Structure 1
Amino acid sequence: MPRPRKNGLPKPLPEGFILTDMMKKKWRLGRMIGEGGCGLIYLAAEDTGRPVADDSDFVIKVEYQENGPLFTELKFYQRAAKPESMQKWKASRKLDVLGIPAFLGSGLAEYNGLSYRFMVMERLGSDLQKICERNGGRLKKETVFQLGHRLVDILEYIHENEYVHADIKAANLVLSHRGPEQVYLVDYGLSYRYCPKGVHKEYKEKPRKSPDGTIEYTSIDAHKGVDNSRRGDLQILGFCLLHWLSGSLPWDAVLKYPLKVHEEKTRLMENLPESVQQLSVKGASTDEVAAFLLHVNSLDYQDKPNYQYLKLLLGSTASGKLDLSAPQRAVEEQCTKEIRNREKVRPAPCDQFVKIYHDRCTAVPYSFLTAGLASAKQCSSHHIWALMIKLLI
């Protein structure tokens, strides 16, 4: 049998398949509910002999055993996200919730001659990317800063436990399965142990190394082939905050060209705060994000960020329900887009008028009827042409 392609999606496992984790607990697979770059996600439940219900509180992520991302993610959870460690951190920081999903188990399995690795997690809800797309690419300013506040808390914990995430983005921010009160940072497949046993990695550029992560938000260090550090994570977060506020980034038009993206990001960081302030949109100043990125820009590779200062810059607390509705301008832009799309598929009133005139009228000269309306075809006041149609009919 041919060896499965490394980092490819695995062949699906059948619904009802039983997996046994390292602690000998048995889990039953339900239906498949999603897939990532290298893995499949299934509903799951502790095996009781009954099918997995659609309201199950657990999921299982499955990849080929030889794949790297799930192995990396498991190592992160085993080293940095132990339940007792997170509880101690929450108590010391007076946090009600720390947005890292609960890890429940892992193991290996065989099916039809193929080897799989799996990880059991708590079930979560919709990701923020879907909500941003529904909102025309933007979120309300208060919501953006609430998210920023919570993410700084999460990143501080991760960093204190010797890891960086390296792929913060809306698609990796997932709401609670039971409601939008809490958001979780997921997918630690690109996480990196930047400070093993308390010794920070050295700054080293590798020009031929392709940047990991998502090109829109990749840190400038990663563009240079440098392994991510704490400042890289926070720069990625700063780019995300800017995108969620303004709905776009200065390098959106060149995403196919990593070198040009790198140049645009460098230009933005070298011209702070004006480069970010000029991206403000109505009702959503980007001054706070400019200040956030200024602090990040002041950090050397091995410097520890001032997390408390960054949260103060955002001027919002992490508590409270997230308002995920669209900003008013985004609503208006979406309505305009929908109107334009409808107009693409229906005849303009002026064209309808011309057709009806030629079909029904011979006595009245066309030039007489349209005198003074030469510019009406270009204007958005189509009611003039609609009125002319009514007169003809």
Structure 2
Amino acid sequence: MTTHVIASSSNAVSSGAPTFVGNHQFKVGRRVGEGSFGVVFEGVSVANGTPVAIKFEPRKSEAPQLRDEYRSYRTLAGTSGIPQTYYFGQEGLHNVLVMDLFGPNLEDLFDICGRKYSLKTVCMLAKQMLTRVQSIHEKFLIYRDIKPDNFLIGPPGSKTANVVHIVDFGMAKHYRDPKTKVHIPYRERKSLSGTARYMSINTHLGREQSRRDDLESLGHVFLYFLRGSLPWQGLKAATNRQKYERIGEKKQTTPISELCESFPEEFAIYMNYVRKLGFEETPDYEFLRELFSKVLKAAGEEDDGMFDWVLLNGGKGWEASVKKQSSSNHQRRDRDRDRERHRERASHQALAPTTPNITARTSTAGAATGGDANPSPLVLTPAPAHVSSRRDRERERDRERRRLDTQGSAAAAAAGVGGSPMATRRSSAQHVANAHPYASTTGAVHSQAPSAFRPGAPGEAYAYGNGSVNQAPGRQRAMTPNTGNGMDMNRAQMSQSRVDRRLEDGRQEDEQHKGGFMSLICCR
């Protein structure tokens, strides 16, 4: 979940959240957003008035993330660009995390800036984002969900107003054991985790993620910022699984030269470098940062913090755009609320009972007209006893007949009548993964035209790009063994209804971002 300073008008009381949390240390204020995993409120420290973000997650959540996210923040405590946490605990039926409050995320700012960033802004962002990811890797963690929504700038007017922060560690995982320093083993047939638009090719192929995959995802984000979109956006397919297969195929068959066409060669160098990294290989982060410093120097620019959003509105910055849009949104919400109330009133009037007592009404009407209006008023009387008994017996016979028919159908299905035996259906789902082309640290290159592209393993539980899981028929859910601190979202046993809700999110991987900067928050 991503925190913003832009907030809606709903408060804690109207949303059912407690007024105070953390033993009355923090007062809960306006709700700033919600998602499939919980709700986030703006709050304030009672002791010193410091603004904070307060995340609420149901304790009975099907895929709890907040505790694992809190553990990641503790591991990274004191690292520049990482939120500071102030409290984690249980409040009634919720897990609660109190942390720093930030400004808008890079996707929101991307919308404000017309859905393209200048070359200077992309290079300055790239250097900061690389540093954040390097800091995470140095703590033996991989992030596994790189996307613009999870990078936020600081609060407006603060010293960190143009410092990029990274948040939402619900899918982070140790790639080395913190005690033994042993790297996790390479594995295949892994379910997908991350956001399909930005995830690495290896992730699409169902291969265990490591540091190289975070860096490849970053490269996709950089090119998204420069181009305005990526070649694999907007692909259509009959099912979500097929859609993600098509995205993976398009990534593999799109040459880097085409992906980086018309941009400085350093972007192609970056993509070639990260895609050739070995599974356990340590990236040269300084070399990668230097690539973007060279681009800035060649363009006659400096890394001075003057991002595109700072120059908006005649130098007033992005805040002026937010205030204007916020006022417009409030007016639109008021109009929508008035229309909804009008529809509800009309609906109630249409459904209101107009004949509560048929006998009384018809009798009264007849009396008022001298008996001519309704000479034979309708009177409802119970049926005779012998008629009721016969009807009851007929209903009972119908119920028994339906029950026997249902049992017969179930028995036929169990015997395999009219369908494939379970063994046949299971065997048809088997899949032998291709050998990993660079499991060692030699840095082999992806084949550009794989003979058979399959993300994960057909027939196994298949986690979609946002970390949710689609249960395959006849299979148990795939449970990824916990490594290190065990922060692997693939262990989440999520219901299909939640998967469907998340796959319909307006910020989903293969569609253009439509939420805009007023979407406020991204709960992932």
TM-score, structure 2 normalization: 0.50
Note closer, same or farther for the CA distance 1:214–1:104 as it changes in structure 2 (3 Å cut): same
Q: Contact 1:12–1:40 (CA<8 Å) still a contact in 2? A: no
Q: Which AA in structure 2 matches 1:200?
A: H
Higher mean C-alpha deviation, range 311-320 or range 301-310: 311-320
Match of 2:76 among 62, 81, 86: 81
The answer for the alignment partner of 1:90 in structure 2 is none
The alpha-carbon deviation at position 300 of structure 1 amounts to: 0.6
Q: Which moved more, 1:307-316 or 1:179-188?
A: 179-188
How many residues align structurally? Answer: 281
Verify the 8 A CA contact 2:113 2:308 in the aligned structure 1: no
1:164-219 per-residue CA deviation (whole Å, 9 max, x = no partner) reads 11112111111111244212111111111111221111111116x2x222111012
Secondary structure of the 2:103 match is: strand
Matched, 1:61 2:46: no
Instruction: Tell me which of 181, 199, 203 is aligned to 2:182.
Output: 199
Query: What does residue 352 of structure 1 align with?
Result: none
Q: Is the 8 A contact 2:152 2:166 kept in 1?
A: yes
Q: Indicate yes or no: 2:107 matched with 1:108.
A: no
CA distance in 1, matches of 2:234, 2:102: 33
Q: In the alignment, what sits opposite 1:267?
A: 253
> Which residue pairs with 1:345 in the alignment?
none
* Residue 277 to residue 46, structure 1, CA distance change in 2 (3 Å): closer
AA aligned opposite 1:126: P
Aligned partner of residue 234 in structure 2, secondary structure? helix
**Which sections of structure 1, spanning at least 5 residues, go unmatched?**
1-10, 87-97, 327-393
Which of the numbers 194, 217, 221 marks the counterpart of 1:236? 217
Instruction: Describe the superposition over 1:313-368 as per-residue Cα deviations: whole angstroms up to 9, x where unpaired.
Output: 11257652423258xxxxxxxxxxxxxxxxxxxxxxxxxxxxxxxxxxxxxxxxxx
Alignment partners' CA distance in 2, 1:302 and 1:45: 43
Query: Larger Cα Rg: Structure 1 or Structure 2?
Result: 2
Cα shift at 1:124: 0.6
Whether 1:162 and 2:158 are equivalent positions in the alignment is no
Structure 2 match to 1:344 = none
Superposed displacement of residue 26, structure 1? 2.4
Which amino acid letter does the alignment assign opposite residue 259 of structure 1? Answer: E
Aligned residue identity for 1:145 = C
Q: Partners in 1 of 2:209 and 2:303 — Cα distance?
A: 26
Paired AA for residue 82 in structure 1: A
8 Å Cα contact 2:73-2:83 kept in structure 1: no
Equivalent residue for 1:174?
A: 152
Is contact 1:288-1:313 (8 Å) kept? Answer: yes
Matched, 1:122 2:100: yes
Please show how residues 27-66 of structure 1 align to structure 2 within 5 Å: 27-47=26-46, 57-66=51-60
* Alpha-carbon shift at residue 15 of structure 1 (Å): 5.8
User: In structure 1, the residue corresponding to 2:271 is in which secondary structure?
Assistant: helix
Instruction: State the alpha-carbon separation in 1 of the partners of residues 107 and 306 from structure 2.
Output: 18
- Work out whether residues 30 and 41 of structure 2, in 8 Å CA contact, stay in contact via their aligned partners in 1: yes
* Alpha-carbon distance change, 321 to 135 in structure 1, aligned in 2, over 3 angstroms: closer
* Cα separation, 1, equivalents of 2:272 and 2:248: 18
Matched letter for residue 186 of structure 2:
Y
Task: Tell whether the 8 Å contact from 1:16 to 1:30 is kept in structure 2 after alignment.
Answer: no
Q: Which residue identity lines up with residue 232 of structure 2 in the other structure?
A: W
CA contact (8 A) 2:232 2:250 kept: yes
Assess if the C-alpha contact under 8 Å between 1:276 and 1:289 holds in 2: no
* Cα-to-partner distance string for 1:66-115 (whole Å, 9 max, x where unaligned): 4422122112112x2122xx3xxxxxxxxxxx2212222211111xxxx2
State how far apart, in whole Å, the 2-side matches of 1:213 and 1:144 are: 22
Root-mean-square deviation (CA), in Å?
2.5
Check the 8 A contact 2:55/2:97 in 1, yes or no. Answer: yes
Conservation of the 8 A alpha-carbon contact between 1:238 and 1:293? yes
Distance between the aligned counterparts of 1:59 and 1:158, measured in 2? Answer: 22
Which of 71, 74, 79 pairs up with 2:67? Answer: 71
Conserved in 2, the CA contact under 8 Å of 1:104 and 1:121? yes
For residue 144 of structure 1, the aligned residue among 115, 122, 126 is: 122
Q: 1:108 to 1:287 in 2, by over 3 A?
A: same
Deviation track 1:266-311 (CA, whole Å, cap 9, x = no partner) reads 223xx33x23232x3xxxx252221111110120111110000000
Deviation at 1:243, TM superposition (A): 0.5
TM-score (norm 1): 0.66
Alignment-derived partner of residue 17 in structure 1 = 19
Give the secondary structure class of the aligned counterpart of 1:124. Answer: coil
Q: In the alignment, what sits opposite 2:305?
A: 320
Match of 1:246 in 2: 227
- Following the alignment from structure 1 to structure 2, what is the Cα–Cα distance between the partners of residues 43 and 306? 39
Alignment CA distance shift 1:267-1:41 (3 Å): same
The structure where strand makes up a greater share of residues is 1
Matched residue of 1:228: which SS? coil
Q: Distance in 2 between matches of 1:128 and 1:159?
A: 21
Instruction: Name stretches of at least 5 consecutive residues in structure 2 with no aligned partner.
Output: 1-12, 297-301, 313-524
Give 1:65 shift: 2.1
Higher relative contact order (CA 8 A, sep 6+): 2
**CA–CA distance in structure 2, aligned partners of residues 242 and 220 of structure 1:** 15
Match runs of 1:343-354 below 5 Å: none
Residues in 1 aligned to 2:39 and 2:306: alpha-carbon distance in whole angstroms: 30
